[in-house]
Structure 1
Amino acid sequence: MTLLTTWPESGPGTTVRRTSEPAEIAAALAPLGVRYEQWPVREDVAADADSATVFAAYGPEIDRLNAEEGFTTVDVLGLHPSDDPEYPVKAKAAREKFLQEHTHDDDDEVRFFVAGSGIFYLHVNGEVHAVFCEKGDLLGVPRGTTHWFDMGTSPAFTAIRFFHEEDGWIGSFTGSPIAGRFPDYDTIAAGYEQDRAAA
C-alpha cells in the first residue's frame, strides 16, 4: 500500500496532505505530471527474482507501457540484504547516489516496484511530496522535476526501470540541502508500519 505525504518546502512542521488511498494519490500527483498507477502483484515472483523471471511475469504490463510511452530500454534493478560482506558498502553507496535533490534532464524516471519499497520525494511548486512506493506501485517522474530518492539504510527492493534514453538515469544535482530537512525512509517506514498495525 502506498503512502503520500505532502509538506511545505520549508519543512515538515505542517502536513498538507497524508493519504494511502490510491485514487487520491493519483489525483494529487496528476497535476504535477506524475504518473501513478498500480499493477497486479505477482505473488509467485520471488523478491530477489532474476530479470528473466520478472520480465516473464510482467510482460503484458511492460508491453502496454512501452507502447504508450515509447520506451526503448527496460531493465531490472535489485538490492537485497544478504550474507555478502560487501552488502553494507553496496547499500550505502546505492543510497547516497540519489539521496540529494537532483533532476534528470534527458528522461523521465519511471519505476515499477516488483518487491520491497522506496520513497520518491518530489519538490514541486513550493511543496515536497513524499511518495512511499511498495510492490505493485508504478511511479513516473517527468524529466526536469526536482526530486530525491531514499531506499533506507538497509535497502530491499526489486524494480523495473524504463528509459527513453540509455543514460537517462544520470542526475543533475541542484546542490540544495533540502533533503536533510525532511523525514528519511527509515523514519517514514517505521511510522507507516505502526499506523498499519494499529488499523
Structure 2
Amino acid sequence: MTQLRIYATQAAGIAADRASAVASTPKPLFSTSNPALISAELKTRGIKFQRWPSQPGLEQGANQEQILLAYQSLIRSVQDSDGYGTVDVMRVGGDQPSSEPLRQTFLREHQHAEDEVRFFVEGRGLFSLHINGEVLQLICEANDWIAIPAETRHWFDMGANPSYCVIRFFKKSGGWAASFTDDPIASHYPGLA
C-alpha cells in the first residue's frame, strides 16, 4: 500500500552504524495511506504525486513497447506539460543477479541535476526525501507517479528482493546521473521491508 511517513531529521552525533541507527529510529510525526493527503503533503514541499489508472490490458512482465503504448496518453500529457523529452522503462528484479550492488548505490543519499520522475508500473520502492529538516518516506507502488525536483537530496530502497518496473522521464537524453552527498543519514531511517 502506498504510504507517506514524515520524520524530523535526527540530531548530529548519532552513531552511524546500522545497529545503533535502528535502535534509535525516530517515530514519524505524520503517517498516511490516503492518496489525497499524500499528494497535498508532498505538494507543500515541491514534490508532485499522482495515482494513474491501471491499464487493464497490460499483462505482468510486459515489455517496454507494450508499457509505453498502454500509458501513451498519460506519458504525452506529462511530456507536454513538463518538457520531458526522453522516456524509457526500467525493470529490476526477477532473474537479475546483480540487483544488490544497484540497491546499495541507490541507498546512498544523492541528488540529480534534473528532476527524478517515475511511474510505477509494477512492484514497489521506497523514496526517502531529505528536505529542510525533515525526511519524507514514500512507499510507491503500482500506479504511483512521482516527480522529485532537481537537487532534492534523497535515496531509494528497492528492498532486499527487488521486483519493480517503472517508466522514467528525463529532460536530457543522458539518463540517470547522481551526485552523492556522503551524508550517512540513510542509515538512520527504516528501509523497505
TM-score, normalization by structure 2 = 0.89
- CA 1:91 to 1:43, structure 2 compared with 1: closer, same or farther past 3 Å? farther
| 2:47 match | 34
Query: What is the CA–CA distance in structure 2 between the aligned matches of 1:76 and 1:99, rounded to whole Å?
Result: 21
From 167, 176, 179, the counterpart of 1:172: 179
| 1:77 match | 90
Number of residue pairs matched by the alignment: 180
Query: What is the CA–CA distance in structure 1 between the aligned matches of 2:119 and 2:165, rounded to whole Å?
Result: 9
| 1:98 match | 106
Counterpart residue type for residue 9 of structure 2: E
Counterpart residue type for residue 181 of structure 1: H
Query: What is the CA–CA distance in structure 1 between the aligned matches of 2:164 and 2:43, rounded to whole Å?
Result: 25
Asked whether 1:5 is paired with 2:12, we answer: no
Question: Structure 1: where are the runs of 5+ without partners?
Answer: 187-199
Q: Which runs of 4+ in 1 moved over 4 A?
A: none
Query: What is the CA–CA distance in structure 2 between the aligned matches of 1:168 and 1:35, rounded to whole Å?
Result: 20
| 1:197 match | none
Query: What is the CA–CA distance in structure 1 between the aligned matches of 2:150 and 2:36, rounded to whole Å?
Result: 23
Counterpart residue type for residue 101 of structure 1: E
Query: What is the CA–CA distance in structure 2 between the aligned matches of 1:16 and 1:161, rounded to whole Å?
Result: 30
Structure 1 residue matching 2:44: 3-state secondary structure: helix
TM-score, normalization by structure 1 = 0.87
169-178 or 4-13, which deviates more? 4-13
Report the CA distance between 1:112 and its aligned residue.
0.1
The answer to whether the 8 Å contact 1:47/1:158 transfers is no
- Give the CA RMSD over aligned residues: 1.2
Counterpart residue type for residue 4 of structure 1: L
C-alpha deviations, 1:76-110, integer Å up to 9, x for none? 0001323xxxx33x1112211211100002x1000
The answer to whether the 8 Å contact 1:5/1:18 transfers is yes
Asked whether 1:60 is paired with 2:73, we answer: yes
Query: What is the CA–CA distance in structure 2 between the aligned matches of 1:176 and 1:6, rounded to whole Å?
Result: 19
**Structure 1 segment 10-159 matched on structure 2, within 5 A:** 10=10, 12-82=25-95, 87-88=96-97, 90-105=98-113, 107-159=114-166
- Relative to its length, the structure with more helix (as a share) is 1
Query: What is the CA–CA distance in structure 2 between the aligned matches of 1:119 and 1:15, rounded to whole Å?
Result: 15
Structure 1 residue matching 2:123: 3-state secondary structure: strand
The answer to whether the 8 Å contact 1:99/1:150 transfers is yes
